[in-house]
Structure 1
Amino acid sequence: MLDTAPPEALTALHDTFGFPAFRGVQEHVVARVLEGRSTLTIMPTGAGKSLTYQLPAVMLRGTCVVVSPLIALMHDQLRSATANGIRAATLTSADTDRMATMDAFRAGELDLLYVAPERASQQHFRDLLSSAPVSLFAIDEAHCVSEWGHDFRPDYRLLRPLLDAFPDVPRLALTATADQHTRADILAQLGIADDGLIVAGFDRPNIRYAIRPRDSLQRQLKAILDENPGPGIIYAPTRAKVEQLAEALGASGRRVLPYHAGLDPAIRARNQAAFVASEDMVMVATVAFGMGIDKPDVRFVAHAGIPKSIEGYYQETGRAGRDGDPAVAVMLWGAEDFARARQRLAEVEDHRRASERQRLDALAGLVETAQCRRAILLRHFGEHPPETCGNCDNCLEPVGVTDATQLARKLLSAVYRTGQSFGLGHLEKVLTGQGDDRITQRGHDQLSVFGIVTAQEAPMLKSIARALQARGSLVPTEHGGLALGGNAREILKGEAAVEVVVAPPRERRRGKQRGATLNPVDDPLFQALRECRRELAHEQGVPPYVIFHDATLRDMAAARPGTLEEMGRTSGVGSRKLDAYGEAFLAVIRRH
């Protein structure tokens, strides 16, 4: 039976956050924390993980210590907590008031104290915690503690002695991404009993997933920007690609900035601050960007290449639509992405190579499927979803699957007979019987595979080559050719079939695209409320969403409260925000 929070928790929920009720499993997690029981919670991004420790922090005696992996994330959460009237502080290398923070902790004046794992694992920090009551240890991004997690951080592995030094303080581990193997490892590493696991589910129904072959990257990305006017993130595989795409896409008029570890730290910080404060900016970044951003109104995430794994894809796309409004996640992939990823497997430690290969194969399955993308994602995390979701590209625009085994055998045979050293362009000419000097000089016009592909079959060769490379049946050579790999010999012998997805025509795809936003852009009151929010945010030096989310402004525009009491019943308006901003927004409503 699931736990129920006491009535005073609902009162504190409304007073602090302005919410009339808990969402999903929040109540069960909060109830366990208030009872002093340790818990590992798997909740999707945007489901309100931070509330499950912030609410107990204001209700319990002592300070909740939050271990978080990135300074930017800590400062972002600090800003939001403070806006809700929670007494919070960070203790990081970037803070100049560390002594004042430690004094405030010792004096019992903090509800929340955020620290990085590198500091939390030190003896001097343990000594500090011994000087005042600690109510809870919250370990955010807890997948970082596991070697099986997709984002392992060794310093997370050193937290156990700190936790064990305070045996009566409950532990709350939180993550959005952990498969069953990773969950078991987190429980063991942090000393949480198996019955302390709460899995909220992984579905993000407001995100529309789409995965397409990359054919003209800049054109495809430009189309995504045109369709989605709100803030967005584009993930590029290299720093050079980040710079190139930011410059090219920014030339079209939209504000587009780069972010990667090679930028000057001051420029990086400035670009990040601009993105967080913006309502329409696009950030082109490496995957280093995003975990430290608690920006709820990101309307799209686009991948200009494949992520490292399904776990990575889930986490990166999960940075879109954290406010619950519609959002879009688009991946543009190429065969060379998988070729490079399979080459990198050779550099992985022996004991991890098999699991990393499985992850890459699972990602290839997601990319190549004709089935519901969401169902593939959720099954990967151990769920049993419906066969269709109605909000991914394959559900909205069903694709066909064709048996391409015979054509794949012709292609693999040509690879073998030409010596496993030529690229697809040369192989296509051989297979379709197009003679040129290079082909005749090497005698490839005399091979049995010369001219065996018909004009009707030829357009499928690129799709088949891409599919075979994604699966590892074709692998790149050092000089850009193609060689047999994986199960190529089984395919050639007729022991394995090859099916490929046939996408709908581009014209039909483009015709069905629609923007991600549901904001009532034609409502002058909603726009006036947004302008008021923008001015207040500018005055206070905080992002607009820290004042109120768009959903709260939509509710205001619909309900048109006439008094502070009525406004206090709007979801997302807590007592602190009502006192700070209520009159300003009431004045806007009265004018309309």
Structure 2
Amino acid sequence: MPLPEYKDLLLPTLKKHFGYDAFRAQQQAIIEHVLEGNDTLVIMPTGGGKSMCFQVPALLFEGVTLVISPLIALMKDQVDGLKANGISANYFNSSQTAEEQYTILEQVANRNIKLLYVAPESLPGLSNILNDRFISCIAIDEAHCISSWGHDFRPSYQQLGFLKKSIPNIPIIALTATADKATRQDILDQLQIPHAKQFISSFDRKNISLEVRPGTDRVKQIISFIKKRPNQSGIIYCLSRKNTEQLTKKLNSNGIEATAYHAGLNFNERNKVQEDFVYDNTQVVCATVAFGMGIDKSNVRWVIHHNMPKNIEGYYQEIGRGGRDGLNAHALLFHSYSDVIQLRRFALGAANEDVQIAKLERMKQFSEATTCRRKILLSYFGELLEANCGNCDVCKNPPQIFDGTIIAQKILSAVYRLNQQEPIGMVLDVLRGAHNASVLEKGYQNLKTFGIGKDIAWKDWQHFIIQLINQGYCEIAFHKNNALQLTEFSKHVLFNGAKVPLTKPLHIAEPKVAEKAPRKKAKRSKTTTEDTLFERLRKLRYNIAKEEDIPAYLIFSDKTLIEMERVRPMSLMDLMDVSGVGQHKAEVYGDEFIAEITNFLGAKLKKEKKKATHLITYDLYKKGLSIEEISMQRKLKSTTIYSHIAKLHSDGKNINIYDFVSKSEVAEVKKAKSALESPSSLKPYYDYFEEQLDYFKIRLALSVIENA
């Protein structure tokens, strides 16, 4: 199919399956690039819509899109989400029997599925279909795992370069939320797609408020923080298994229900903790970073780091698990000198020890920064922000600043004259005029900038350089021996007279360890929830999710429920106008959510809004119009008209229901109702009939049964 024809199908496909009227940011450009058959690298923050970049093309390609994903739990979550949107998808991994795997391969051969998820370790089992006869596209999710420069390196990912050799004409799209320049280049090299176009979205997650606090009395602070946010889901990341268990006990003894997660638990224990959290049965989890990429939950409202992470990539990805639905979220980080010592110990002896130590130092600098924290995060990933964000603790409580332009010019000039090839230590030695062996061997004592900063202490120069890095005026090239390099902002300072604000060095004493006070066991207090339409819809969503055994957010996100509360749709057509409601979900869940909204608004509104529209349909039915004719005249979906027919029949109107559903189909639905023990939604019936009986027939048959 030529690209122009694809273009005409993009928005209808997006609306039908995902419920959105428009693409976000670069999504459409990426999708069109992939549909043209091009290799692509996508760097997009968590919650930015990466999955859409390969899921929409998958629906338009003829064959299957192979999605390489690092975790079984993440695959299952993605597949459940696709099925909830009416999309045929499956996964292939070691947890399945040989018979199950054979059935999946048959589905691929018969073109019965559009997306197939697989871990890199399971690729040998797909050897019979790894060709352009069956595969239309390959998506490599969490692509930073390929690179040893990345923070979650997995050796099995490094073997994926064979895919381009095996199927050279199939487009590869690699996607990740966190990759600095070195990691991005390594991904392209390892996958053998050197000419892939790079789409780098803004790393700015404006909805996440950033805060850093000293690690003094952190447990007491965490308890206070959580108690101010009842009924909110959150994750607390800890440095060790022992930390997770100790903190969980302390939270439980203070009336906060929490569970621990770490690699020391067996598979079933870990799986239960993760599922309870994803399914909204547990609100708070204390976890090591093992609780990582498998968490694809949209309504996490806060993320706490009990200890400082080992690098900024990990920190960014972990806080990115908050606020994936676009609503406000809070990221709170505690740091202490003891965290740094322990993390340094972990890095010793590693193959890339120097890189790990350098990245840990950047994380430490972020924690101790006195400038806008969002600027630091963005500049780390190569994105420069001129204005302060206004949504971090430094911006909300700014320190005193002074005009540091002359200091900045001296630093940047030294970096320039060192040909951007030396790390911070050497830049400091040149500024201070040090006559050590390293300086003298390279002849740096002859540079114009040698010794121009003798009047400022070594530690203070270090403080100023870190501020320049944090503000994006220079950057560390980890893949070039940690060399300090200039950025676009540097030119404005060196040549255009741009002013640079700096803060004076703060000599912070190490925090004192607070004495342990005697603790009384707290009683668990039940939080009362206000009876709002949102809470009613949330409860309905939870009950349906529990019955269908899927995470609640896969039905509708919090953001979609909030819009339902605002718009208050009274028909399936109105519901389809709500962002996040596609055709499939409207057909499956629409009646229940509309009924809940109607019940909330009261009997009068129910009569005026719902009964009236049914009666209009009844008048047209009595005139002999068909369902299609009524649908066209009323400009309503045929599924809405069928729901009217069911309601009219239930109200005792003169409807020949067997014009729309046969007696044998009614009998089959009656059997299903008994076998399924009267489920509260239509989805179990639909699955029972293996998707061979339409939703409207199930709905009409139930109307006959209930009024018999």
What TM-score comes out, normalization by structure 2 length? 0.65
Partner of 2:14: 13
Between the aligned partners of 2:546 and 2:356, the Cα distance in structure 1 is 46
The question of whether the paired residues in 1 share the 8 Å contact of 2:545 and 2:552 is answered with yes
DSSP-derived class of the 1:391 partner? coil
Between the aligned partners of 2:227 and 2:8, the Cα distance in structure 1 is 48
Q: How far does residue 103 in structure 1 lie from its aligned partner after superposition?
A: 1.5
Say which one has the larger Rg: 2
Q: How far does residue 130 in structure 1 lie from its aligned partner after superposition?
A: 3.7
1:252-274 Cα deviation digits (max 9, x unpaired): 23320111111122111111110
Partner of 1:35: 36
Between the aligned partners of 1:107 and 1:177, the Cα distance in structure 2 is 37
Q: Does 1:311 find its partner at 2:313? A: yes
Alignment of 1:208-223 (within 5 A): 208-223=209-224
Q: Does 1:371 find its partner at 2:360? A: no
DSSP-derived class of the 2:175 partner? strand
Q: Does 1:100 find its partner at 2:103? A: yes
Q: Does 1:262 find its partner at 2:264? A: yes
Partner of 2:24: 23
Alignment of 1:212-291 (within 5 A): 212-229=213-230, 230-278=232-280, 281-291=283-293
Between the aligned partners of 1:141 and 1:236, the Cα distance in structure 2 is 22
**Please, which of 108, 114, 117 is the counterpart of residue 114 of structure 1?**
117
Partner of 2:587: 579
- Residue identity opposite 1:112 in structure 2: L
Root-mean-square deviation (Å): 2.3
What TM-score comes out, normalization by structure 1 length? 0.78
Between the aligned partners of 1:580 and 1:9, the Cα distance in structure 2 is 23
Partner of 1:536: 544
* Percent identical: 41
Between the aligned partners of 2:354 and 2:292, the Cα distance in structure 1 is 28
Q: How far does residue 498 in structure 1 lie from its aligned partner after superposition?
A: 5.3
Summarize the Cα distance change of 1:532–1:523 in structure 2 as closer, same or farther, 3 Å threshold.
same
Q: How far does residue 168 in structure 1 lie from its aligned partner after superposition?
A: 1.2
Q: Does 1:566 find its partner at 2:574? A: yes
- Residue identity opposite 1:252 in structure 2: N
Between the aligned partners of 1:155 and 1:116, the Cα distance in structure 2 is 9
DSSP-derived class of the 2:137 partner? strand
The question of whether the paired residues in 1 share the 8 Å contact of 2:89 and 2:113 is answered with yes
- Residue identity opposite 2:260 in structure 1: P
Summarize the Cα distance change of 1:194–1:180 in structure 2 as closer, same or farther, 3 Å threshold.
farther
Partner of 2:181: 180
The question of whether the paired residues in 2 share the 8 Å contact of 1:108 and 1:132 is answered with no
The question of whether the paired residues in 2 share the 8 Å contact of 1:66 and 1:139 is answered with yes
Alignment of 1:369-518 (within 5 A): 369-399=369-399, 499-500=506-507
Partner of 1:199: 200
Q: Which sits farther off after the overlay, 41-50 or 256-265?
A: 256-265
1:183-234 Cα deviation digits (max 9, x unpaired): 1111111122445101012111110111111111210110221233310000
Partner of 2:561: 553
Q: Which has the higher contact order (CA 8 A, sep 6+)?
A: 1
Partner of 1:89: 90
1:358-399 Cα deviation digits (max 9, x unpaired): 212211110111101100110111111134101111111224
The question of whether the paired residues in 1 share the 8 Å contact of 2:21 and 2:579 is answered with yes
Q: How far does residue 501 in structure 1 lie from its aligned partner after superposition?
A: 6.3
Summarize the Cα distance change of 1:369–1:542 in structure 2 as closer, same or farther, 3 Å threshold.
same
The question of whether the paired residues in 2 share the 8 Å contact of 1:401 and 1:502 is answered with no
Between the aligned partners of 1:568 and 1:42, the Cα distance in structure 2 is 31
- Residue identity opposite 1:544 in structure 2: A
Q: How far does residue 499 in structure 1 lie from its aligned partner after superposition?
A: 3.3
Q: Does 1:298 find its partner at 2:300? A: yes
- Residue identity opposite 2:140 in structure 1: I
1:493-538 Cα deviation digits (max 9, x unpaired): xxxx9534699xxxxxxxxxxxxxxxxx856222211121111111
Partner of 2:341: 339
- Residue identity opposite 2:104 in structure 1: T
Q: Which sits farther off after the overlay, 128-137 or 315-324?
A: 128-137
The question of whether the paired residues in 2 share the 8 Å contact of 1:234 and 1:283 is answered with yes
Long gaps (5+) in structure 1 = 403-463, 472-496, 504-520
1:307-327 Cα deviation digits (max 9, x unpaired): 110111001111111111100
Between the aligned partners of 2:281 and 2:557, the Cα distance in structure 1 is 11
Number of aligned residues: 479
Between the aligned partners of 1:156 and 1:548, the Cα distance in structure 2 is 33
Between the aligned partners of 2:91 and 2:509, the Cα distance in structure 1 is 52
